[in-house]
Amino acid sequence: MNQPNEIREAELQKAITSRNRPERPTALSSSLTFSSRALLRIKHVPEQLFDVTVFPVIFLLMFTYLFGGAIAGSTSEYLQFLLPGILVMTVAQITMYTGIDLNNDIRKGIFDRFRTLPIWLPSALVGALLVDMIRYSGASAIMLALGFILGFRPEGGFIGVLGAVGMILIFCFCLSWVWTTLGIIMRSEKSLMMVSFMFLFPLTFVSNVFVDPETLPSWLESFVDVNPISLLVDAVRGFMHGNVTGEAIAWVLLASAIFLVVFAPLTMYLYRNKK
């Protein structure tokens, strides 16, 4: 009668004494595992989705009806100009939460546990960034749905909208590496948020999101023209209105590549060597 128990004990003893270690997980499998961890965090703390659900709606309604009549003469006309810009601004601003989540893991000691695991080291960061892409896509979908309800009509059609969202995702994925770098350097969540806002607010508000740069003073127009957010807004507007140029796309890809090439290796260096 005790034979099944004896067999299980023998199998357990064999597993414990065996020198055969489990196979090392691949980079893809470990990244997907950390992605599922981030999704579980959203499941158990759904309030963190407010930044991709409630805030985009408030931004679009507030700026459309507050400035539409004064700037463009009508809210419907201003909406055609504003929505691509406000979409870029909203998604760009929520990229900083990548660094905040990493900073929280560091302060709680989870960061050190990850570094001791026999996994591809960047997978903890890549997995989180993949889930952030889902967040960015969700924010884009909500903004576009509300825009269509309010009367936004993209002349570039469905393909143009997809191209615009694709440009936003590429740019914001690369921009997120800036916040992972700061997430490792900064000692607290509050200091990280302060630095992030100091960087993002000038870029998003001193841009072509709300007004045509030609209406600005010449010295300010020069800054707006080279602002990475303005470059992205130009490409997104071009896609949505069917008049995008190869030059606009090239500038966005160049800015994205600079963020990625500079901050991704820096993040990994700090990630490996942080004490």
- 123 Cβ contact partners less than 8 Å away, ≥ 6 residues apart: 27, 30, 31, 33, 34
Domain ranges of the chain: 25-273
Look at residues 80, 217, 203 and name the one whose alpha carbon lies nearest to residue 71: 80
pLDDT tens profile 183-222? 888 888 788 888 888 888 888 888 888 888 887 888 888 8
Q: What percent of the chain has pLDDT over 70?
A: 90
- Here the contacts of 106-112 (C-beta below 8 Å, separation 24 or greater) are 106/183, 106/184, 106/274, 107/188, 107/189, 111/274
Per-residue pLDDT reduced to its tens digit, 39-98: 777 777 776 677 777 877 888 888 888 877 777 677 888 888 889 998 998 888 888 888
Question: d(Cα 69, Cα 61) in Å, to the nearest integer?
Answer: 13
pTM of the model: 0.83
Six-digit token string for 8 = 């299980």
